[in-house]
Amino acid sequence: MKQLFIKTHEVWLVTLMASFMSKNSETKQSLNDFSDILFRHFTWLERELIKSGLEYDYNRDSVPIKVESLRVILDNIVERLNTMELMLPNVTDDALRFRIQTDWEYMKYKIGNLADEEVTAFSAKREYKDFNLSNEATDALTLFLFEESYKEYELIMIYNYLKAHSDDDYLNKIFQILIDESFFHLKSFGQMMAEMGILAVPRVIHESIYKVESLVEFLKDGIDEELAAKEQCKELSDAVVKEAKELAEFFDFINYQENYHIALMQDALRHFEEKGAE
């Protein structure tokens, strides 16, 4: 089941990246929905691993996604799902196994019928819409998108791991909100990266990052990181405001969202400290 868990992680990412590559709104939506479902499979398999007392981590192989034609990556998703079918009998929960199997059947059917498209997500043109950004602003935006897309993926995995290993309902509600928020940010940044021709899969996360030794320290550091992220958004917004007002508005929007994340993390910290146990 561990191997299936790893392969589900990989196919979730490939499907998410494929959704960024597509310029057709229906195809994009289908792939986006499928990636969400595959992530849910991932969390359910994780729960099974925990129930079975099996040690696991979020290590995975690197996921090559650079293609010129969407059909190539779509076929890759189908091929991955076909290979994973051989691992499915290892899932002992009948309901979960049936659910995953029937989801995959529909995904393969649907993906098989999606129209091909030319992919420009790897063109390296580094232009966003019609905005005329300076070289410095373009470099800053590029670096920001690489840093932050990784960061959001990292946060999803950290909060997911914490949630999987916590039986505190109050904390888990907060973790789930933060996971949902990071998904929105990851999807926003991934889409921008695809449009700029710089799409990339976030790198593998080292297990020391999500297997946190102290939740209190993690939350305190996390609050500091959110404050730093706010500052970065503000800097980027200021840097592009003259050349690209829409982009500046977007980074302000992300910046203000970080305020709520900080409040939630402070709330989690208060709750955890009130419980008086770590």
Partner 1 sequence: MEIDNEILEHMRNPYNYGRIDEPSSIGIGENPQNGEKVIIYINVDESGSEATISQIAFEAIACMTTVVAGSVITKEADGLIFSKAEELIAVTLGMLENVDPEQAACSEMVAVALKAAIDGYLLSKEKGEKQTLIYKIEQSCSPQMEYSKQEERE
**CB of residue 133 to partner 1, shortest distance in Å:** 12
Q: Which residue's CB is nearer to partner 1, number 50 or number 143?
A: 143
Q: Note the residues at the interface with partner 1 (CB under 8 A).
A: 59, 62, 66, 124, 126, 135-140, 142-144, 146-147, 150, 198, 200, 203-204, 206, 208-209, 228, 232, 235-236, 239
Q: Which residue's CB is nearer to partner 1, number 63 or number 164?
A: 63
Q: Which residue's CB is nearer to partner 1, number 104 or number 144?
A: 144
**28: Cβ–Cβ under 8 A, 6 or more apart, which residues?**
19, 20, 22
**CB of residue 276 to partner 1, shortest distance in Å:** 26
**CB of residue 211 to partner 1, shortest distance in Å:** 12
Q: How far apart are the first and last CA of the chain?
A: 30
Q: Which residue's CB is nearer to partner 1, number 118 or number 136?
A: 136
Query: What are the tokens at 7?
Result: 């392969």
**CB of residue 243 to partner 1, shortest distance in Å:** 14
**CB of residue 257 to partner 1, shortest distance in Å:** 18
Q: Which residue's CB is nearer to partner 1, number 59 or number 82?
A: 59
The per-residue b/e assignment along 233-265, b for 16 or more CB within 10 angstroms, e otherwise, is: beebbebbeeebeebbebbbebbebbeebbebb
As a whole number of angstroms, the distance between CA 205 and CA 153 comes to 9
Please work out, in degrees rounded to the nearest 5, the angle formed at the alpha carbon of residue 176 by the alpha carbons of 172 and 180. 170
Q: Which candidate, 87, 199, 119, 209, places its Cα nearest to that of 160? A: 209
